[in-house]
Amino acid sequence: MADNLIAAGQLHDPALAAALTAVPRHALVPHFYQQAPNRSWTRVDATDSSYYTTVYSNTTLVTALADLGAGIDEPVSSSSQPSLMIRMVEALDIRDGQRVLEIGTGTGYNAALLSHRLGETNVFSLDIDASLVAMAADRLAAIDYRPTLAVADGAAGLPEHAPFDAIIATCSVPAIPSVWIEQLTDGGTVLADVKVQNTAGNLVLLRRDGQRAVGRFATRYAAFMPLRHTVHATIPNATATAVAISHHRSAHHAVPERDTDALVLPTQQPLLWFLTALRLPVTVTFGYTIDPERREPSHVHLYAADGSTSHVTIAHDHDRHRVSETGPLRLWTHVEDAHRQWTQWGQPDWDRLGFTVDTTTHTQSLWLDEPENPIATLPR
């Protein structure tokens, strides 16, 4: 796996390559779950012929499932894609002797890589799920790594072991907790996936400078499972919301259909979706209808818990798309506003977007090109 990642230009740091070679992923991921097209999950372990190939491939492996209230099993923990983990650790630019806190222990695989790289006394990792921490501790000890592990809500950091030179979050957060910045050394870095509404945002790398932390978004998109404040917390789910909405629909009259030239496919245009989500006054989930022949979305749907919906028929041969909406809010107008602004700004990509956390004013702002040019504030 290390050789493949080096050959693919995804692994550059020799010390990390050594960690990847030394740490046996199979010892920390003795089984994982694979999802079939019908959405059912199959458990795969060392008795399956594909197990070792898959464990040593550059793939995310789902390692824990739970029904979070939607009546279906959803992933609640995974061993993240190795190239993503490497990209994140390389971006943090950690040096010998530095102390790192990981939010989201999961399998312990990343904690093992960090322990190999920095020495186990410099590695701290916590997870909200006590059973995952217990399993990770046992499996890490069996391969001779004993980083400090804790069961805690990562939103509070790990004050008893602060300060850290770096904090890496392997679950997404709706905003960067101020305490993370306070638990960093001055000049220390935090790398986390900021996702407003659980689905909109990207990785951001911030460096502490006094009471502020400033930095830019990663140029490549990544997505982690959201931080949960309790083990069984519900994560808003598009399917569940869609079912709930169908009960509401008759209660609200649809407004006349109209055309729009503003389209956002949240999974394909994550930056535009982020700019949209920052404007949305309510939590919105999305879904697609897939055209079975073209194998691409024919419609995109937005659903809000108050019963507001937008259904957009995607015109693949021209740029006027058909919008039909129901419920009290016109959700698609926020897509149109975000699209207009994005066009006015010259259609920026992630490299032009940055982020500032101010721990004295408790504000988190998004900026374009320079911190002096704020364009949005994250919801508190």
Ligand X SMILES: C[S@@+](CC[C@H](N)C(=O)[O-])C[C@H]1O[C@@H](n2cnc3c(N)ncnc32)[C@H](O)[C@@H]1O
The helix (H) or strand (E) run that includes residue 298 is strand 296-304
Q: Using CB under 6 A as the criterion, which residues of the chain lie in contact with ligand X when the complex forms?
A: 76-80, 103-104, 106-107, 109-110, 126-129, 132, 153-155, 170-171, 224-225, 227-229
Secondary structure E strands in 170-211: 184-196, 200-209
Nearer to ligand X, 80 or 178 (CB): 80
- Tell me which residue has tokens 């982690």: 224
Among this protein's residues, is 246 annotated catalytic? no
**Least distance in angstroms from the C-beta of 191 to ligand X:** 12
Nearer to ligand X, 227 or 238 (CB): 227
Nearer to ligand X, 135 or 184 (CB): 135
**Least distance in angstroms from the C-beta of 236 to ligand X:** 15
**Least distance in angstroms from the C-beta of 131 to ligand X:** 10
The span from the CA of 340 to the CA of 38, in Å, is: 38
Of the candidates 254, 263, 257, the one whose C-alpha atom is nearest the C-alpha of residue 336 is 263
* Cβ-based burial of 370 (10 A; exposed 0-12, middle 13-18, buried ≥19): exposed
**Least distance in angstroms from the C-beta of 336 to ligand X:** 34
The span from the CA of 120 to the CA of 111, in Å, is: 9
Of the candidates 4, 379, 12, 2, the one whose C-alpha atom is nearest the C-alpha of residue 197 is 379
Which one of the listed residues 80, 125, 172, 178 is annotated catalytic? 80
Quick one: DSSP state of residue 241?
A: H
* Amino acid (one-letter) located at 350: W
Helices (H), strands (E): how many in the chain?
A: 11, 19
Nearer to ligand X, 129 or 165 (CB): 129
Nearer to ligand X, 17 or 150 (CB): 150
Question: What sign for the dihedral angle of Cα 14, 18, 19, 24?
Answer: positive
Q: Which residues are catalytic?
A: 80
